[in-house]
Structure 1
Amino acid sequence: MFKSMKTGVLAAILISTAIYAHAQKKITEGTISYAVEYAPTPEQEPAVKMLPKELKVKFNGSITKIEMEQGPATIVILSDVISYAGLVLIDVPVAQMQFAVKRTKADYDKEKATAPKFSDFKATGEKKMIGSYNAEKYTYKDDKGGTYELWTTTDIELPTGFNGEDFKDIKGSLVKFTHFQQGMKQTLTVKEIKEEKNGPYKLHVPSGYEVKTMEEIMAMQGGGE
C-alpha cells in the first residue's frame, strides 16, 4: 500500500505545476480541462502509468486546486501561481492517515534548476482554432537543443501569474504548450475553460492532518502494493 501511495504522490507532483498559463474575457475563477501527453524517461514509467490523460484544474484567483485518486489515497494539490507556495494533502482512509506537505518557492526553484531553460519565443503568424479558441502559433527552444511550439489565445484572460516563469513573456492564454516537470516532458492542450464558482482556496493545513516533508513521505515503508 505504501509503495502505491508513494508512486501516486510522485505522479501528482509531476503534474502539480503543469497548469501555469496567462491570458479578453477575464475569468477569475473556474475550471480548466486539459488533455495531457507524457514523454517519460524509463525511470519515470511507473509513475506515468498512474498519471491521468485528462487533467482538471480548479482555480480561484491565484490559487489552483488539483484532486487525484491514486491507489488508496486521495491527493489534493493546492498551488499559488504568484508566490509558488503550495500544499499537498494526502488522505488514506483505509489506513486512517492524513498527511500534509508544505511546498515553498525554494522547493519550486530546486525542481526548476535542472529543467531545460526556454528562450527565443517567436510568433509565426500561423493561426487555427484549438477547442473554441482562436489561437496563434509560437516557436521556442531550450538550452539543451530542444525545439518546441505553443499556441496562445487572446480570447480570454486568466488571473495574473498563470503563465508561470517559463512563458511570462507570451501574450495571451496558453491553449497548447510543452514544458518539463521533474525532468518529464509534458504537452498540455486545453479542452475547455469553464467559468464557475470555486473555492476560495487557502494554503492552511486542515485540522487532523500530520505535517510531513516530502522526504518523509517517500521514506515510509510498508507491505503490499
Structure 2
Amino acid sequence: MFKSIKTGVLSLILISSAIYAHAQKKIDQGSIVYGIEYVLTPEQKAAVDVSTLPKENKLEFNGNISKLGMEMGPAILTIYKDGLNNTGLLLIDIPIAQKQYAAKMSKEDMEKQTGGIKYSDFKATGEKQTISGYNTEKFTYKDNNGVAYELWATKDIELTPGANNVEFKDVNATPIKFTVTQGGVKTTLTIKSIKEQKAGPFSLDVPSGYEQKTMAELEAMKGGG
C-alpha cells in the first residue's frame, strides 16, 4: 500500500505539471506553485504518515519543457517533462547512498504513471469564482471509471506546452483548481501563484554522473519499499 502511495505522489507530480492553456496573456517561461490536498481512503491513511506528504510543489517551465522537484524520503526527485510530446526524464539523487539514477520516460511510461485514467465530458456550469487572483469558471468532468470531478479554470492567462497537457484540452482554459486520481490517490491541486520569470533552458538529456536505468528497472529497485 505504501508503494501505491509513492506511485500516486509521483503521478501527482506529473499531473501538476500538466495544465492545458488557451487564453489571453501568454507566459513563455516562469514558475507555478501548487497547493496539494489529499483525499485518502482509511487504508491509505493507515499506510502512510500524511504529514510526510508534500503540501505544495513548484514547477518551472520554459517553452515545451518543465522541471519539477521534490524530496521523497532520502531521495530527491527531479522530473523534466516535454509537454508537447508527452515524454520526460526522471532523475533520482540519493545523497546518503551517493547514488544518482536517471530514466528516460517514453510516452508509454508517462501514460503508465497515470494508471490509465483519462478524463472526458467537460461541462461548464456558469458558476464563477475568483481563485488566487484569477477569474475562474467551474467545470464538471469524469474519468473512464465513472468517477465525477470538478475544476475551476481561467481564460486570464495562456501557458506554453511546458506547462500543459492534452487531458484538459476540451476545457479551452487554464485549470486553476482541479481534482485528479492518479496511482489510486485522489488529490486536489490549486495554483497558488504563477510568476513570469527566467527559467531554464531545460533539456531531457541525461546529465553526466547519472547511472541510466529504464523505468521498469527503477520500479524493480523500489520493490515493496
Tell me if 1:18 matches 2:20: no
Query: In structure 2, what is the equivalent of residue 149 of structure 1?
Result: 150
Deviation of 1:118 (Å): 2.2
Counterpart AA for 1:51: L
Query: Which of 76, 88, 91 is 2:90 aligned to?
Result: 88
Could you give the per-residue CA deviations for residues 123-173 of structure 1, whole angstroms, max 9, x where no partner exists?
111111001101111112233332221111111110137442321111121
- The more displaced of 156-165 and 51-60 is 156-165
Using the alignment, how far apart are the partners of 1:185 and 1:157 within structure 2? Answer: 26
Greater fraction helix: 2
- The more displaced of 17-26 and 43-52 is 43-52
Using the alignment, how far apart are the partners of 1:96 and 1:37 within structure 2? Answer: 32
Name the % identity: 50
1:21-170 correspondence runs (5 A):
21-23=19-21, 24-41=24-41, 42=43, 45-46=47-48, 50-112=52-114, 114-115=116-117, 117-160=118-161, 162-170=163-171
- The more displaced of 34-43 and 148-157 is 34-43
Counterpart AA for 2:214: T
Query: In structure 2, what is the equivalent of residue 173 of structure 1?
Result: 174
Change in 2 beyond 3 A, CA 1:8/1:146: closer
Deviation of 1:56 (Å): 0.8
Q: Secondary structure at the match of 2:207?
A: coil
Change in 2 beyond 3 A, CA 1:29/1:161: closer
8 Å CA contact retained: 1:8, 1:70: no
Q: Report the number of matched residues.
A: 218
8 Å CA contact retained: 2:4, 2:184: no
Q: Secondary structure at the match of 2:221?
A: coil
Q: Secondary structure at the match of 2:109?
A: helix
8 Å CA contact retained: 1:148, 1:178: yes
Counterpart AA for 1:165: V
Deviation of 1:40 (Å): 3.5
Deviation of 1:220 (Å): 3.3
Query: In structure 2, what is the equivalent of residue 216 of structure 1?
Result: 217
Change in 2 beyond 3 A, CA 1:126/1:111: same
8 Å CA contact retained: 2:4, 2:183: no
8 Å CA contact retained: 2:61, 2:163: no
Q: Secondary structure at the match of 2:15?
A: coil
Unaligned runs of 5+ in 1: none
Change in 2 beyond 3 A, CA 1:204/1:48: farther
TM-score between both structures, scaled by the size of structure 2: 0.85
Using the alignment, how far apart are the partners of 1:142 and 1:158 within structure 2? Answer: 24
8 Å CA contact retained: 2:8, 2:185: no
TM-score between both structures, scaled by the size of structure 1: 0.85
Using the alignment, how far apart are the partners of 1:32 and 1:67 within structure 2? Answer: 12
Deviation of 1:49 (Å): 5.3
Q: Secondary structure at the match of 2:216?
A: helix
Using the alignment, how far apart are the partners of 1:111 and 1:17 within structure 2? Answer: 8
Q: Secondary structure at the match of 1:67?
A: strand
Structural RMSD (CA): 2.7
Using the alignment, how far apart are the partners of 2:5 and 2:138 within structure 1? Answer: 34
- The more displaced of 177-186 and 42-51 is 42-51
